[in-house]
Each structure stands twice: as C-alpha cells, then as structure tokens.
Structure 1
C-alpha cells in the first residue's frame, strides 16, 4: 500500500494522456518551463538591483490628478 510500482505510474500516465491529449500536455510543459525561466531571471535581476538600488523617480501631481484609480506608494524592503 505504501509504494507504487512502475506499472501503476504507467497507467496513470496513459490516463492523463488520454484525457488531456499530447498537444495540450506539450503546451503545458513549455508554458511551465517558460514561467520557471522567467522566475529565475527575475530573481537574478532582483538580486543585482537590490545591491545597487537607486531611488525611484517621483510621480508628478499632474499625472496623479488625471488618473484617480492609481495609488502611488513607495515600496520598501525589510533589512
């Protein structure tokens, strides 16, 4: 009851392929891979910008007066 054999996993894989189809699974795999790559790139970029961060430019009053749905805040990181 504790472990599954290779035959159990092959049956599960066959059912998943029959339900979703190979094209949808291929697209799902490539989308997941692109998301993981983007996340890793973002984390690497975030680490380099934290070390040499520059203050963000301030938003002028004219822009905030025209767009009433935007809330301007300064995000600060914990040390």
Structure 2
C-alpha cells in the first residue's frame, strides 16, 4: 500500500521542522556530490578496463604475428 500525498506532506513537514531547511540543503548538496564522485570514479574504472582490454588484445595480436 503506497502512502498518500497527505501522508508524504506531513512527513516532509516533520523532517523540515526537525532538521531545518539549511541542514537539508547541505545534506542534499553532500549527497549530490557523493553521487557525482561515484559516477566519476565508476566511469574512470570503466575507462581503465577498456584500456586494459585493448592492451591485452594488442599484445595477443602481436604475439600471434611473432608466432607465424
């Protein structure tokens, strides 16, 4: 059973009262920075694995040429 609009609104008001808008903005900013950093590092890892695969393929092709 999904919460209704009014239930979500009440929870949002309670969270704002507890934490305040400034702290929520900081939390959102920190969370955004963390997600951005995670995406950047996972992209770097993907680039490194692509480069490693290309190097391996080049090495295999040069080994085959030497063997012939």
TM-score w.r.t. the length of structure 2 is 0.71
In the other structure, the counterpart of 1:49 is: 48
In the other structure, the counterpart of 2:29 is: 30
Matches of 1:36 and 1:25, distance apart in 2: 16
Q: 5+ unaligned residues in a row in structure 1: which ranges?
A: 55-79
Matches of 1:45 and 1:22, distance apart in 2: 34
Runs of 4+ in 1 over 4 A off after TM superposition: none
Q: 5+ unaligned residues in a row in structure 2: which ranges?
A: 56-68
- Higher helix content, 1 or 2: 2
Matches of 1:6 and 1:46, distance apart in 2: 41
In the other structure, the counterpart of 2:64 is: none
Deviations 1:26-49 (A, max 9, x none): 000000001001100101111111
Counterparts in 2 of 1:1-79, with a 5 A limit? 2-53=1-52
RMSD: 1.4
